[in-house]
Structure 1
Amino acid sequence: MAALPLRNRGLGSWPARRAAMSPQRPALLFGDDVTTYAQLRDRIARLASGLMSRGVSPGDRVAYLGPNHPAFVETMFATHLLGAVFVPLNARLAEPEIDYMLRHSGATALVHAPGSAFSVRPGTVVEVGDAYEKWLEAAGEPAAIDVPVEPGDVAFILYTSGTTGRPKGATLTHSNVVWNCYNLLVGVDVAGDEVTLIGAPLFHVAALNQCLLPTFLKGGRSVIMPAWDVDAAFDLIEAHRVTWMFGVSAMFAGLARSPRWPGADLSSVRSVMSGGAPVPEALIGAYQQRGLTFCQGYGMTETAPGATFLEARESVTHLGSAGLPVFFADVRCVRPDLTDTEPGEPGEVLVRGPNVTPGYWNDPQATRDAFTAGGWFRSGDVARVDAGGHYHVVDRVKDMYISGGENVYPAEVESVLFEHPAIAEAAVVGVPDPKWGEVGRAFVVPLPDAALDPESVRAFLVPRLAKYKIPAYVDVVPALPRTGSGKVRKAELRDRPIPT
């Protein structure tokens, strides 16, 4: 048995430790390829040896650019085995955006998928495929690497989506990620025989830290999709008897609206989990009607990402709630003066705990701005807390608008719009109005072959929302503009000329 890296107290020691416990268990499934934990440990050690021979040292940054692939997992753990910092890059971004992140992080090595767009070239660049495999072969037998790594060392730089200005590089330590795994395992009964579908991008914190790493920790298997595809997801769930998956609202909506949904074999699925944005209650209900446990959580990159979670036992009785604060973190909902809100009163979410980022890479001002004087992280999100302490995330602070003196939270309006039988997607923004100060403007995407007109959409909302919440304008559009991480570019929608 290979020696365990005893001086490495970070994530880089996990492959050797898991391989010692369950060497022949499948760790990763990708297409027709199956990698056991022992095989994965050896490939990671070879990659780490190759990176070390090219000069990668503790604290250096190693970037990965590409869609979901086993090489992502191998590069991440090899980086951490060397005490270096892993920088996963969003493969959906344009070349100038990638170049900025490579320069800002100071990456010394880059592993990338074929066809990736970048012009900044770190000292070591390896393309996934034949070149990558030859690189591993050239490294020879796996070396015994035991670089000192402390829990408080930076493990990741994760760039925010940058809906305004340049993206910030949120840092997460090894300890941040481990405590997040603890929080997840308290809230979800992840088993050693778990079969987890990884359909969301691993370059985002949720799929990585909420699914892949907890599954790895328990010795389960991760079924990796290179990109999200509804039909492929149905096929993989049935073929591999998937038990657990994470997705954002759009992914789950795609499954529920597929013609395969009524007859799909979902009998192996124990639970599904969502986060990233409020999920319409009508969509959650569609899963519950199929007998599936639908759990929601709330968090952000800076909290690694879990801040609140709704456990399976409460998924029906607290439909639509993002749950309670995770076990090893504290969460508050506050007014602008930082006093706690009353039950039902909207306020900004603050988080404090061992899972919270120490700050932003090379950005001391952004780090200072992100925390209160008492050390609480300011989320910029608005939530209401009910009498039982359950959080209901309302919207981003910056997305709220005031119409006739009343606060309007676009996510609430969007959730009702989603209930419309002909609407596939919706986004609402506030726009200037001479009488009311601001009014709502809704952008709706119809389902294929569905007919929508603005007045019928407004008529649908009349019995469901207060009058001041009903958008004054409704635009029927073929698609919504999105960032590289899939978030709607609301600033772009606000800037569109208002029709006369």
Structure 2
Amino acid sequence: MPEIIYESPEFSLLPPKINLAETILHRGLATPGHPLFIDPNTDKSYDIVALRHITGRVAHLLRSEYGIKKGDVVGVYSMNQALMTAMYLGCISIGAIVSPLAMTYVAGEVRHALITAGIKKLFAQKHLRSNVEGALSMGPADAEEETDRLTVTMKDVIDIDQFLLSADTPGPTVFPITLTVEELEEKPSFLCFSSGTTGKFKAVMLSQSNVASDVMMSVGIAPFMYNQQTQLMMLPQSHIFGLVMVLMCAPYTGCKVVVMQKFVLETYIDYIIKYGVTSLMTVPPVLVLLAKHPYVVEKRDEISKTLRSINSGAAPLSRQLADAVKRNLPNTTIIQGYGLTETAPTSHLTKLNRPDEKVSKVGFLMAHQQARLIDEDGNDVPKGHAGELCIRGPNVFLGYYRNPKANEAAFLPGRWFRTGDIAMVDEDNYWSIVDRAKELIKSKGHQVAPAELEDLLLSHPDVNDSAVIGIYNEDEATEYPRAYVVLKPGSAAAANPSIICDFVASKVARHKQLWGGVVVIDAIPKSVSGKILRRQLRERKGDKAFYSAKVKAKL
């Protein structure tokens, strides 16, 4: 069967063939005097002139004091920082490679990151040093890492807070160096770690051209990032969503960003009000709070004075949740996008003028990208049918660092990247993500998408959060959908969880019913980007499941 290739209806310029740091800091729309990044702890702000200077100082200090050269890997292990753009682009300026570590990593994960990326120097906050010490004190590399070794000692761990303070001073600077087209397009500039929802995380190689292309493609369709807007950044700066869509896009467009070190809901709401935040980039778990939390309800009139748009990403957003937020914050337009670390990150984005019926869709394929939808045998499926999404374009990553086995599985001939996500496209070129291919439940000969049942569960007034996995039943030789739910204390469902089974049974086909029962837990395990960690749910033992007598009778 011939390939069915979808082209983007959008247009954007492609980036110039120059250093990414020069593109962001010297070729963008930011104007002197206009704040770009604000530290709410000190109320200190940095405009484009200050950001250029500090970035140049970072580059100079890396080269002169720490011996960082082109191609060296610099690790960053920190909470959010107002000057993180300067840290990252200072490395990029001299042709070094940035490898951000999530601040939530524990010692074993730090060790795996240090080995996988081959980090030469690690810039870390003081309160995280104990995790680094633990990582460096562990035994020899395991079989999976037997060809690699730790390349750092504690002497190579630098206090990032003190380093950035020293960079925010007068002194010599370095302008972004000139790189060849080959270096821009075929050499890594970022080694970002995949979310690690299955197995050990991998280092994703993104070139300067990958990131610059995604910036140009995103800002062409994203007016919520323009210079008249004010963003509140709670997204982890180590995660590709925040790294590119805020840290790179904002200084290029001139958008003001208030940087939170870590997410605390009450503080988040207070900052929206204090700084007149107009737009949010966030994830569905935060939207659950915006829809239901009493503090948001209390402050919604003050929030609504300035907040006009919310862009959700990193995990699927259901119509029910979007509608719930809209009821609480009626002045906001809620949209969502889609992407992966491997697409730097955005491959699909919704415009602010999207029709209401498109709220649960992830928008248009971004400019300069192509897409295919394939079945389990690798054949292209007709339009209107769901299939695994494959993407090709200037933002698609180079491959996984030092991992040929993973690279072989990731790409089809023609450099088509297999996302592992099941998608559909409608007649208006709006795309929707059905679910992860590997997370589909095979129930009674049918495929069941967990996201569909999770959206339905969230529409129940007693359910605060939910996740669905498949539980294998040997007698039936099939998987049963099982729901894990967080219930409102004192609710009817909290007293009798089996009513959740009856609720779902009244809404879905037989094969989608909760044959595996309902398990009540305190919190759904999720990654920092909001993705449900289903593997952790599968590994749980001894859970008490509640079943509906009506549903059980149908088995």
TM bracket, shorter-chain basis? over 0.9
- Superposed, 1:342-361 pairs within 5 Å as 342-361=382-401
- For 1:187, the equivalent position in structure 2 comes to 221
- For 2:192, the equivalent position in structure 1 comes to 158
- For 1:143, the equivalent position in structure 2 comes to 173
Alpha-carbon distance, 1:319 to partner: 2.4
- Conserved in 2, the CA contact under 8 Å of 1:48 and 1:82? yes
- Superposed, 1:52-63 pairs within 5 Å as 52-53=63-64, 54-63=66-75
Alpha-carbon distance, 1:105 to partner: 1.1
Alpha-carbon distance, 1:475 to partner: 0.3
- For 1:3, the equivalent position in structure 2 comes to none
Range with greater deviation from structure 2 (240-249 or 350-359) = 240-249
| Residue 460 (structure 1) aligned with residue 489 (structure 2) | no
- Conserved in 1, the CA contact under 8 Å of 2:250 and 2:257? yes
Alpha-carbon distance, 1:21 to partner: 5.9
SS of residue paired to 2:467: strand
- Conserved in 2, the CA contact under 8 Å of 1:310 and 1:322? yes
C-alpha change, 1:407 and 1:388, in structure 2 (3 Å) is same
Alpha-carbon distance, 1:449 to partner: 4.8
Give CA deviations for 1:198-224 in whole Å, capped at 9, x if unaligned. Answer: 111111111221233222111121111
The one-letter code matched in structure 1 to 2:26 is: R
The one-letter code matched in structure 1 to 2:114 is: L
The one-letter code matched in structure 1 to 2:167 is: L
- Conserved in 2, the CA contact under 8 Å of 1:333 and 1:385? no
- Conserved in 1, the CA contact under 8 Å of 2:37 and 2:82? yes
Q: Among 147, 157, 180, which residue is 1:125 paired with?
A: 157
C-alpha change, 1:134 and 1:462, in structure 2 (3 Å) is closer
Q: Among 455, 478, 489, which residue is 2:522 paired with?
A: 478
Alpha-carbon distance, 1:337 to partner: 3.0
- Conserved in 1, the CA contact under 8 Å of 2:21 and 2:176? no
SS of residue paired to 2:220: helix
Alpha-carbon distance, 1:315 to partner: 4.5
In structure 2, runs of 5+ residues without a counterpart are: 1-15, 137-151, 546-555
- For 1:224, the equivalent position in structure 2 comes to 259
| Residue 114 (structure 1) aligned with residue 130 (structure 2) | no
Range with greater deviation from structure 2 (18-27 or 144-153) = 18-27
- Superposed, 1:266-415 pairs within 5 Å as 266-289=304-327, 290-415=330-455
Q: Among 506, 512, 515, which residue is 1:469 paired with?
A: 512
Cα distance in 2 between the residues matched to 1:20 and 1:351:
30
Give CA deviations for 1:300-319 in whole Å, capped at 9, x if unaligned. Answer: 11001111222122241312
- Conserved in 1, the CA contact under 8 Å of 2:30 and 2:252? no
Range with greater deviation from structure 2 (218-227 or 187-196) = 187-196
- Conserved in 1, the CA contact under 8 Å of 2:110 and 2:132? yes
Cα distance in 1 between the residues matched to 2:29 and 2:422:
45
Q: Among 107, 118, 138, which residue is 1:95 paired with?
A: 107
SS of residue paired to 1:313: coil
Question: % of aligned pairs identical?
Answer: 28
Cα distance in 2 between the residues matched to 1:101 and 1:73:
21
Alpha-carbon distance, 1:163 to partner: 2.2
The one-letter code matched in structure 1 to 2:156 is: T
C-alpha change, 1:400 and 1:45, in structure 2 (3 Å) is same
SS of residue paired to 1:260: helix
- For 1:4, the equivalent position in structure 2 comes to none
| Residue 493 (structure 1) aligned with residue 504 (structure 2) | no
Q: TM-score, normalised by structure 2?
A: 0.84
SS of residue paired to 1:167: coil
- Structure 1 vs Structure 2 CA RMSD: 2.2
SS of residue paired to 2:310: strand
Bigger RCO of structures 1 and 2 (CA < 8 A, at least 6 apart): 2
Cα distance in 2 between the residues matched to 1:43 and 1:8:
23
The one-letter code matched in structure 2 to 1:287 is: V
- Conserved in 2, the CA contact under 8 Å of 1:275 and 1:296? yes
Alpha-carbon distance, 1:395 to partner: 1.0
- For 2:98, the equivalent position in structure 1 comes to 86
- Conserved in 2, the CA contact under 8 Å of 1:89 and 1:159? yes
Aligned length, in residue pairs? 492
SS of residue paired to 2:358: coil
- For 1:438, the equivalent position in structure 2 comes to 479
Alpha-carbon distance, 1:484 to partner: 5.6
The one-letter code matched in structure 1 to 2:48 is: Y
Give CA deviations for 1:443-477 in whole Å, capped at 9, x if unaligned. Answer: 10123554523311112212221121121210011
- For 1:206, the equivalent position in structure 2 comes to 241
Alpha-carbon distance, 1:244 to partner: 1.6
Q: TM-score, normalised by structure 1?
A: 0.93
Cα distance in 2 between the residues matched to 1:10 and 1:404:
54
SS of residue paired to 1:162: coil
C-alpha change, 1:416 and 1:126, in structure 2 (3 Å) is same
| Residue 240 (structure 1) aligned with residue 275 (structure 2) | yes
- Conserved in 2, the CA contact under 8 Å of 1:64 and 1:72? no
- For 1:25, the equivalent position in structure 2 comes to 34
Cα distance in 2 between the residues matched to 1:484 and 1:286:
23
- For 2:54, the equivalent position in structure 1 comes to 43
Cα distance in 2 between the residues matched to 1:9 and 1:340:
37
- Conserved in 2, the CA contact under 8 Å of 1:93 and 1:484? no
- Conserved in 1, the CA contact under 8 Å of 2:290 and 2:325? no
Range with greater deviation from structure 2 (413-422 or 479-488) = 479-488
Give CA deviations for 1:254-311 in whole Å, capped at 9, x if unaligned. Answer: 1221223344222322321111121121111133341311111111110011112221
